[in-house]
Amino acid sequence: MTDTGFEKVPARNRRRFPGISSRAYEHPADRSALVALRKLSGFDTVFKALSGLLPERSLRLLFLSESVRVGETQFPHLHGMLRDACYILDLERVPQMYVQQDPKPNAMCIGLDEPIIVVTTGLVELLDEEEMRAVVGHEVGHALSGHAVYRTVLLFLTGLAMKVAWIPLGNVAIMALVTALREWFRKSELSADRAGLLVGQDVNASMRGLMKIAGGNHLHEMNVDAFLAQAEEYASSGDLRDSVLKILNVLPRSHPFTTVRAAELKKWSQNRDYQRIMDGHYPRRDEDKDASVSDSFRQSASHYADSVRTSKDPLMKLVGDLAGGAGDLGGKLRDKFTGAGAGAANGSAGAGEGNGSPGGATEQPG
């Protein structure tokens, strides 16, 4: 492959998705936000106008001067993975990629005009080829979705919050926006995990990579099924106090917890939506302008409703029970004022008499 086109297919035979829209793999909450933002006329222009205020140029210079730029002569294996990922997701403009000296395994995609991908040495040394391929696909998925723009804004606002902390209420307003952006960004990470799976097309490698990020390079000491069981235990164990602690623990984070990411990705890999994409049935990029904002919000709302209904978390169960109780109360009030309840009761009594119940009455639970 070259900078202007693709001359080689990926090293291993993988499916390619010409013209794929990021809507194909985006988490419902992520997708609804992005569809709405894409509909805003001049949105990209406004953010580009703000680029002088954001640290993008500074970050580019920093990585250029303090990191190693991936290319044909530097980290060529990563260079090949990057081009493979862009080929599979049909991202024509290949982002620049840097390796940064940092023992902590991490990767990110930032930038307003031209996204750049940064991976740490800790991550490169931790993962094998197929695990790393999923990570590179994850970051290319961020680039295709346009997440890099909002990640850059999040970095800027987080820094701004620290600078205005001394101003009364100033920090409160900024942190409210940062908290909302973090909630969106956590969902965008789930989207990018799906993009990584579409690129690597090896769910076991994706699982191993997440497990290593959580537990280090001791794969012989770990087990994917046991790791996923942790996610199940996290979701269902404890009482209301633990539910509140879960919320407090996740609020300052930009990423979901690793076991949660693994469980979400495993679930998606077994979903018919994933199989449809693999079979070549997916939304196309040239249809993005016609995507319905209201449909996207309905899908997002439906997802959250399903999450509450099926959740094993005590707090989510309580929310579901309260919602169900409110529905029951509304039904009882409706029956009271419409007389439907009395009619139902009379019908029940008549049925009892018809069935030969003693005295024409049926026994009711107390």
Between 147-163 and 170-200, two packed helices, what is the crossing angle to 10 degrees?
Answer: 150
Predicted pLDDT at 10: 52
Instruction: Kindly state the tokens that stand for 255.
Output: 């990423």
Residue 255 gets which letter from DSSP? S
Mean pLDDT, range 338-346, rounded to an integer: 51
What proportion of the chain, given as a percentage, has pLDDT over 90?
A: 40
DSSP H or E run through 313: none
Read off the pLDDT of each residue in 319-326 and give the average, rounded to a whole number. 50
| Greatest C-alpha distance within the chain | 94
Instruction: Give pLDDT tens digits for 246-273.
Output: 565 665 566 678 999 999 999 999 999 9
157 or 71: which leads in pLDDT: 71
Given a cut of 80, is residue 230 above it in pLDDT? yes
Pick from 26-30, 182-186, 202-206, 242-246: least confident: 242-246
Note the Cα 91 to chain centre separation in Å: 20
170 by Cβ neighbours in 10 Å (0-12 / 13-18 / 19+) ranks as middle
Confidence of residue 333 (pLDDT cuts 50, 70, 90): very low
Dihedral angle of Cα 273, 274, 277, 278, to the nearest 10 degrees: -140
pLDDT tens column, 5-40: 444 545 568 999 999 999 899 887 676 655 555 554
Cα–Cα distance measured from residue 98 to residue 118, given in angstroms and rounded to the nearest whole number: 5
Quick count: other Cβ atoms within 10 Å of Cβ 144?
A: 27
**Per-residue CA distances from 337 to 299, 327, 330, 349 (Å):** 34, 16, 11, 20
Whether 168 has a pLDDT exceeding 90, the answer reads no
- C-alpha distances in angstroms, 307 versus 126, 235, 312? 33, 11, 9
Are 211 and 266 spatial neighbours (Cβ–Cβ below 8 Å)?
Answer: no
The C-alpha angle 68, 160, 41, rounded to 5 degrees, equals: 85
Q: How many CB atoms lie within 10 A of CB 31?
A: 27
Per the DSSP assignment, residues forming a β-bridge with 118 are 98, 108
More confident residue, 74 or 3: 74
Q: Is 94 exposed, middle or buried (0-12, 13-18, 19+ CB in 10 A)?
A: buried
Residue 117 CA to residue 119 CA, distance in Å, equals 7
Assigned token pair, 64: 């250029």
Supply the DSSP symbol for 2: B
User: Region 207-228: what's the mean pLDDT?
Assistant: 94
Indicate the pLDDT class of residue 344, thresholds 50, 70 and 90: very low
**Which pairing describes strands 68-69 and 107-110: parallel, antiparallel, or unpaired?**
unpaired
pLDDT tens digits, 287-310: 877 655 455 445 555 554 555 455
62-116, pLDDT tens digit by residue?
A: 898 999 999 999 999 999 999 999 999 999 899 999 999 999 999 998 876 688 9
Within a 10 A sphere around the Cβ of 269, how many other Cβ atoms?
A: 16
- Using an 8 Å Cβ cutoff, are 83 and 192 in contact? no
- Residues forming a β-bridge with 98: 69, 118
Count CB neighbours of 349 within 10 A.
14
SS3 120: strand
Residue entry with tokens 């990057």: 82
328 or 289: which carries more pLDDT confidence?
Answer: 289
Q: Show which residues are catalytic.
A: 139
| Whether pLDDT at 128 is above 70 | yes
Q: Return all residues near 184 (Cβ < 8 A) that are at least 6 apart.
A: 29, 30, 33, 150
C-alpha 216 chain-centroid distance: 23
Top-confidence residue, 194 or 294? 194
Please state whether the predicted TM-score (pTM) of the whole model is above 0.85.
no
Asked which of 77-81, 141-145, 185-189 is least confident by mean pLDDT, the reply is: 185-189
CA distance 280 to 282: 6
Provide the edge-to-edge strand list for the sheet that holds 96-100.
Answer: 68-69, 96-100, 116-120, 107-110
Pairing relation of β-strands 96-100 and 116-120? parallel
